[in-house]
Amino acid sequence: MQKKIFSLDEHQIFLQGPVVVFKWKNVKDWPVEYVSSNVEENLGYKKEDFLLNRIKYGDIIFEDDLIQVSNEVSNYSLSERNMFEQEYRIVKSNGEIVWIYDYTTIVRDENRAITHFYGYILDITKHKRNEEALRRTEKLNTIGEFAAGIAHEIRNPLTSLRGFLQLIKNGQIKEEYKDIMESELDRIESILNEFLILSKPHLTQYNKKDVHVLFKQILPLFETQATYNNIQLVTEFDLDELMINCNENQLKQVFVNFIKNAIEATSNGGVIKIECKKEQNELCIRFIDEGSGISEENIKRLGEPFFTTKENGTGLGLMISFKIIEEHGGTIQVESQLGIGSIFKIKLPFC
């Protein structure tokens, strides 16, 4: 018995699918010259309403997205590209607003002038909803991690304070208790202040500054501590001005944090070198120490909230530093070897 062979009409298969094809003119509101037959099934509009110019393609774009879509089309049109991709919202015939992915091909005449666009659009609303749900979940997880971290960090000094208060109630009053209690309260305040810096949005004012000047102001703060720990602070700066657009106080906070960390890591004495050089049109600042080093596993976690390799650290200082450098358009890279030392490298754009 001979098997029956079925021939598949690719065009029909395409028209039964979710991708709707439009061809519109490159004039105001984008009147439609062609639309695939599945437009009614997918968007609810009748094909003839587009072809008879009752509805133009610009009419179905959600009004809040129309300016953005128009600007993007104009920008892409000025380039030599022959296609581009967009994501925006359109309004179906029943009033439902849906997200679409639009793959657009540009049609040009013999003079390279744009005459038409072909758009292949696909409803991605479910995908967008899943993305938003994932973002909400990640945000809740982050809040949970922060809350757990703060509770853990504050619980330790609170436990200590409760213990000393109990001793005082029992009549055991010593002057040294007051100093310890004050120190623990300062620690709680420091943790909360660092958390507020991370969580509070604020407008930052940027000014042109020479990095030489910033280091000249902060390095004397560490001279006594470095001498006491048998550490030599060495600087190697380019002689030319190294001007960057920055918030002076924020960058000082980052530099102070890195120098402080380097001194704490170099507990057995040694050299801490700070380099400031111009490299490939960027400012490159290196903090090089001969300390204990950081394992490869821990390097990957640097900048995470409440992750620290220090006994009394919170991890928030480094996290704030990463955030500040990112807001300045820069990057931080870390190289380290256990028992040899670490290099923290900051790259920042010049003015």
Last residue of one domain, picked from the residues 84, 106, 123: 123
Contact 293, 339 (CB under 8 A): yes
Please report whether residue 268 resides in a domain: yes
pLDDT of residue 116: 94
Is residue 73 domain-shared with residue 49, that is, in the same domain? yes
Strand bridging mode 97-108 / 83-91: antiparallel
Residue tagged 């480094």 (tokens): 318
- 5: pLDDT confidence band, cut at 50, 70 and 90? very low
Is residue 335 domain-shared with residue 213, that is, in the same domain? yes
Please report whether residue 141 resides in a domain: yes
**Strand ranges inside 48-160, DSSP E:** 83-91, 97-108, 114-123
pLDDT of residue 314: 61
Q: Model confidence over 276-306: pLDDT tens digits?
A: 999 888 999 999 999 889 988 888 888 776 6
Last residue of one domain, picked from the residues 91, 123, 155: 123
Please report whether residue 229 resides in a domain: yes
Q: Is the pLDDT of residue 8 over 60?
A: no
Is residue 177 domain-shared with residue 136, that is, in the same domain? yes
pLDDT of residue 6: 43
- How many domains are contained in the chain? 3
Is residue 23 domain-shared with residue 62, that is, in the same domain? yes
Q: Model confidence over 196-207: pLDDT tens digits?
A: 666 655 556 888
Is residue 287 domain-shared with residue 223, that is, in the same domain? yes
Domain that holds residue 263: 207-349
